[in-house]
Amino acid sequence: MPLSRRDMLRSAAAGAAWLALGAEWSSAAARTHPPSRLKIAMCDWNLGKTGDVAAIALAREIGLDGVEVSVNFPGPGQHLRSPAMQRDYKAALKREGVSAPSLALGVLNGVPLKSEPKAALWLADSIDAARALGAKVILVAFFGDGDIEMEKTAEINRVVDVLKELAPRAEKAKVILGLENTLSAADNLGLLERVGSEWVQVYYDFWNSAYEGRDVPAEIRLLGKHICQVHLKNGDALLSAPGKVDFPACAQALREIGYRGWYVLETSSPSGNLVTDTRANVEYVREHFA
């Protein structure tokens, strides 16, 4: 039946009231559960579970958004080369509602990419593993025996050749190879220029650069869009404790370059209570890097 003018006005008023009430509920929900602008993960070795799928459940208990997963080559079943191990991780990630934003090839610190042919094979296989787990970054480590220096031309040439060879494979998988090393920002840019691919970038660690005596905020600004991911740590202390890194200044520099990537904790537990200390570090990051 056709509505009278009075009925239509009454219906419109009721609809407006419901819309207003719905907006009020939405606003209240937003205040109760504010959207997180940051995604915070932690290295599985700092969780005490290197290459262990149990790190995923622990991350969920702590309240982390993700875990940086170690790629353990060589190992029983060749670890993440194994489809069975990949399935275990994928199941745990789905079950716990946690992400694996990155894989870490810390093994390259002992089996250097600059000199060992099998290291290049491990990196190639890690690209496939990253795609399987949904990770968008692979930490390519250059510390210890794997440390690189620009003056050692043959070693740098070898690294550049490997990265140039693997960059198309990384692009196809949509996985960034993130170089973490002791080079300056300027030297890293020189290295990236030689490789010539946006799929090879810098995995930047504030504390490592500060330890080398560098101006960390200035390096962040210089590297700019070439930073794919960042590590946060403060030696053996909480992030909130005085230390080598001016974290608020680093946060400002990241905002200036438009960084939108993950914040990955590589932190220790000074009190001995991993859960409590990590939650404190998570809150510090959310407070200062938002």
Q: What is the pLDDT of residues 17-67, one digit of tens each?
A: 434 434 333 333 333 234 447 999 999 999 999 999 999 999 999 999 999
pLDDT, tens digit, 9 for 90 and up, residues 170-207: 999 999 999 999 999 999 999 999 999 999 999 999 99
Confidence label for 241 from pLDDT (cuts 50, 70 and 90): very high
**Whole-angstrom Cα distance, residue 16 to residue 7?**
14
Question: β-pairing, 200-205 with 176-180?
Answer: parallel
Lowest mean pLDDT among 6-20, 40-54, 89-103, 231-245: 6-20
What ranges in 33-99 are assigned the alpha helix state H?
Answer: 54-62, 83-96
pLDDT given at position 79: 84
Q: Per-residue pLDDT averaged across 80-101, rounded?
A: 96
pLDDT given at position 150: 97
Question: Could you state, in order of their start, the residue ranges of all structural domains in the chain?
Answer: 38-289
pLDDT given at position 77: 59
Three-state DSSP at 63 gives coil
224-228: long-range contacts (C-beta < 8 A, 24 or more apart)? 224/257, 225/257, 225/258, 226/188, 226/189, 226/192, 226/201, 226/202, 227/201, 227/202, 227/203, 227/257, 227/259, 227/261, 228/137, 228/176, 228/178, 228/201, 228/202, 228/203, 228/261
pLDDT, tens digit, 9 for 90 and up, residues 109-140: 999 999 999 999 999 999 999 999 999 999 99
- List the one residue out of 280, 278, 204 whose CA is nearest residue 49: 278
CATH topology of domain 38-289: TIM Barrel (3.20.20)
Confidence label for 251 from pLDDT (cuts 50, 70 and 90): very high
Confidence label for 73 from pLDDT (cuts 50, 70 and 90): confident
pLDDT given at position 157: 98
pLDDT given at position 75: 66
- List the one residue out of 227, 118, 232, 112 whose CA is nearest residue 179: 227
